[in-house]
């Protein structure tokens, strides 16, 4: 078994343990240093001649950092009374989230082949690649989990535009910068055609996301997102998880079946 495949298996096994977080375990097992460009900048994608992509997220549903609820991989709560703890929801948003939960998540747009949007794509099976185009000062995030989806993070120093001047999309408009080895991306301009978590947490067009990507080692990518949508939540809140390096080429998946 190759090292990366073995670490991927370790990540999956640790994630199955109660409260399991596989990032530290995989990082400790890997002796491979974090890849870098010749100037020292960290690489978030493959080395030349290497194959691989990021997958096996340590959690597959969005819950506020530090909150522990009994929730399955599809985002379905075991106890609906825990809905108030998942995130700091406004009353209307809590009612909508509870409805979606009681309805068995059957209204999930992904059942009708509508894309996952952001940040859900970071937890969707199929994996991602993060490709930095240093000539055009852009980062491209490619998704293996649905219809060749991809998003752009602009790294040319621009500031986030006025939200009223942005055409709303599934992934928003993102501008980014580096803080040491951490890529920070700020996104605005989201539409409401998607669920940004598989459990049905709602959002509005006022959603703002701040994401932080940090490659802790060759095999571990740390991801953190801050959700700021004052129309939906009583305060900004964070969630965090890890993804793990998988050898091979990112798979292609096309949704053609329609509603199940």
| Contact assessment for residue 176 and residue 155, using Cβ atoms and an 8 Å cutoff | yes
> How much is the pLDDT for 31?
61
Q: Is residue 194 part of a domain?
A: yes
Q: Is residue 88 part of a domain?
A: yes
What's the length of the chain?
A: 260
Rounded-to-integer distance, Cα 123 and Cα 197, Å: 9
pLDDT band at 22 (very low <50, low <70, confident <90, very high): very low
Q: Is residue 254 part of a domain?
A: no
**What is the average pLDDT across 11-17?**
40
> How much is the pLDDT for 27?
38
Predicted TM-score (pTM) of the model is: 0.85
Q: Is residue 65 part of a domain?
A: yes
Q: Is residue 255 part of a domain?
A: no
Whose tokens are 């993060």? That residue is 130
Chain centroid offset of residue 192 CA: 17
Greater model confidence, 82 or 253: 82
Greater model confidence, 5 or 110: 110
> How much is the pLDDT for 146?
65
| Contact assessment for residue 219 and residue 54, using Cβ atoms and an 8 Å cutoff | no
**What is the average pLDDT across 207-215?**
97
Whose tokens are 């978030």? That residue is 44
Whose tokens are 């978590």? That residue is 197
Neighbour tally for 51: CB within 10 Å: 12
Candidates 134, 126, 108, 119; CA nearest to 208 is: 119
Is 50 exceeded by the pLDDT of residue 201? Answer: yes
Q: Is residue 118 part of a domain?
A: yes
pLDDT band at 161 (very low <50, low <70, confident <90, very high): confident
Give the residue numbers spanning the domain of 31. Answer: 3-246
Total of domains in the chain: 1
**DSSP secondary structure string, 175-205?**
EEEEETTEEEEEEE-B-SSS-SSTT-----T
Q: Is residue 256 part of a domain?
A: no
**Most distant CA pair in the chain, distance:** 53
* Residue 78 DSSP SS3: coil
Mean pLDDT over each residue of the chain, to the nearest integer: 87
**What is the average pLDDT across 146-171?**
86
Q: Which two tokens stand for residue 48?
A: 């030349």
Is 90 exceeded by the pLDDT of residue 225? Answer: yes
Is 60 exceeded by the pLDDT of residue 9? Answer: no
Phi–psi pair at 48, nearest 5 degrees: -55, 130
Candidates 209, 191, 180, 186; CA nearest to 139 is: 186
* Residue 244 DSSP SS3: strand
> How much is the pLDDT for 116?
85
pLDDT tens digits along 82-133: 999 999 999 999 999 999 999 999 999 998 888 888 999 999 888 999 999 9
Q: Is residue 130 part of a domain?
A: yes
pLDDT tens digits along 27-48: 334 468 899 999 999 999 999 9
Percent of the chain, pLDDT > 70?
Answer: 86
Is 60 exceeded by the pLDDT of residue 5? Answer: no
């Amino acid at each position: 078994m190759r090292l990366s495949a073995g670490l991927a298996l370790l990540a999956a096994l640790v994630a199955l343990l109660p409260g399991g977080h596989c990032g530290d375990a995989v990082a400790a097992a890997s002796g491979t240093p974090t890849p870098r460009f010749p100037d020292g900048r960290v690489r978030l994608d493959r080395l030349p001649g290497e194959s691989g992509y990021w997958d096996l997220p340590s959690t597959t549903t969005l819950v506020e950092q530090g909150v522990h609820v009994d929730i399955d991989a599809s985002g379905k709560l075991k106890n609906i009374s825990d809905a108030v703890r998942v995130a700091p929801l406004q009353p209307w948003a809590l009612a909508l989230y509870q409805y979606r939960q009681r309805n068995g998540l059957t209204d999930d747009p992904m059942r009708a082949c509508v894309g996952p949007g952001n940040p859900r794509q970071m937890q969707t099976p199929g994996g991602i690649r993060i490709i930095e185009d240093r000539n055009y000062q852009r980062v491209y995030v490619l998704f293996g989990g649905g219809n060749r989806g991809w998003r752009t993070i602009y790294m040319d120093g621009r500031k986030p535009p006025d939200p009223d001047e942005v055409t709303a999309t599934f992934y928003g408009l993102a501008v980014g910068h580096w803080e040491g080895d951490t890529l920070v991306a700020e996104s605005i301009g989201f539409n409401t055609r998607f669920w940004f978590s598989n459990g049905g947490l709602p959002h509005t067009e006022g959603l703002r996301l701040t994401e932080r990507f940090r490659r802790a080692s060759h095999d571990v990518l740390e991801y953190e997102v801050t959700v700021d949508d004052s129309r939906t939540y009583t305060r900004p809140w964070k969630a965090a998880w890890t993804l793990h390096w998988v050898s091979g080429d990112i798979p292609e998946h096309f949704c053609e079946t329609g509603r199940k």
